[in-house]
Amino acid sequence: MENLADSPYGPPEEHPKAAEFAELRAAIADERVRELFPYRFLAANETFARLVDATANSILDSIGALPSNAGISVQQAKKELSIPWRRTVPLRFLYEKLADSDILERENGKYYLGPVEPQDFAEVAAELAAREPGAAVAVDILRTLVDEAKTYFSGEATGDEILFAPKQLPLWLKYFSNDNLLYAINNTIGAEALSRLVPAAGGRLEILEIGGGCGSAAEQALRELGSGVTRYRFTEVAETFARHGEKAAQAAASPSTTVESARLDMTMSWEAQGVGPGTFDAVYSVNCFHVAPDLDFVIAEAAKALRPGGTVVVSECVRPTKLARPIHAEIIFDFLDSFTDVATDPVKRPTHGFLTPAAWRATFEAAGFADVTVLPDVDAIAERYPDFVVGAVLARTNPSA
């Protein structure tokens, strides 16, 4: 593990979860992948998880929804506080997350105060900012949720209106950045997955990125792969993000790489938007496919865009298959309708939000993909460290198709 002796929280061996971090790293069989999860990331992620608990408690407190001695159910809170039905998903998440951390207790559908005292939001926020300054932007976003909780749960404004108001754009440019270690891990593992496709592509790789956002995924991938990429097509549907993403991709690309950019809505025909069938070696997406209203359609469009033997690489949070509890990273996105309004399926997509390895495999196999791999093996790691939720899914088409 890296040396952080100059950290205000001491060297790695002094961290309360140092032994758990060591066990997690030991569970990652692939040495190259193991090195992508240093102490620095694990410590920041653990602090962020505690900040999510503090956020959840602060939100419930601010809207008067913390349980009394008599306890409270989701439906009771919804009725007593006149919360619109569309706000039930994040409300339920807040209760379940706190129950999972023993700040609340759940019994017969009601929630009661638990044995663990909630931590102060400001104190944990300061710890995260000191430990990992680049991740401090997450504090600002979570603070926005706390400050605007009454507005949101009264139905006066949607999560999109609150979180993606024009004044919030600078926050998201910082959040979706490789300077934010908590987010950049998805770009890092995604780039590692893409790098393993170069030999199979005969030393060249033509990549189509979907939902490129502010360009941090393209930036990381193009720097990692260098001249191994001959063509990179950056696509994004939101104009405000696309402008930043295009510049980032151009700046990171090797002189021998042709960088293209286009607006593309993944929910509509890709061919009608300029993506010819069988024209790419890889379709790449970071933290995007899970918001597809119809994931089967998106996967089918990705398959059409690939040459025989081509690969879809999806890098994002991956919910361990056996994990029947909330993922702390979901707190922000559960407030967005685009995150929750998706078509579900008992096997391929049992719930909204991040998919499990089992759900990803079922989805890709149903679309005819011959080989599906999760890098690293999230389910195997979660047997020893249940909070591990980062991975890249690689799904390869049949080479003879």
Per-residue pLDDT of the chain (401 residues; tens, 9 = 90+): 344 434 444 455 667 788 888 888 999 999 999 999 999 999 999 999 999 999 999 999 999 999 999 999 999 999 999 999 989 999 999 999 999 999 999 999 999 999 999 999 999 999 999 999 999 999 999 999 999 999 999 999 999 999 999 999 999 999 999 999 999 999 999 999 999 998 766 668 999 999 999 999 999 999 999 999 999 999 999 998 999 999 999 999 999 999 999 999 999 999 999 999 999 999 999 999 999 999 999 999 999 999 999 999 999 999 998 876 788 889 999 999 888 888 899 999 988 889 999 999 999 999 999 899 999 999 999 888 888 899 999 999 988 76
**CA 342 distance to own-chain centroid:** 16
Which tokens sit at 255? 């002189």
Beta pairing partners, 311: 282, 396
What is the model's pTM?
A: 0.93
Question: Domain residues of the chain, as ranges?
Answer: 12-175, 182-396
Beta strands 206-209 and 110-113, pairing class: unpaired
Q: What is the DSSP letter of 398?
A: -
Task: Give the β-pairing of 104-107 and 110-113.
Answer: antiparallel
Pairing outcome for strands 390-396 and 371-375 = antiparallel
Burial class from Cβ neighbours inside 10 Å (0-12, 13-18, 19+) for residue 305 reads buried
Report the side by side order of strands in the sheet with 258-262: 258-262, 231-235, 206-209, 280-286, 306-317, 390-396, 371-375
User: How many other CB atoms sit within 10 Å of the CB of residue 390?
Assistant: 21
**Which of these, 111, 120, 182, lies nearest to 327 by C-alpha position?**
182
Q: Are 339 and 98 in contact (CB under 8 A)?
A: no
Fold designation for 182-396: Rossmann fold (3.40.50)
The partner residues of 286 in beta bridges, in order of sequence, read 315
Instruction: Name the pairing type of β-strands 390-396 and 306-317.
Output: antiparallel
- Per the listing, tokens 């469009």 go with 301
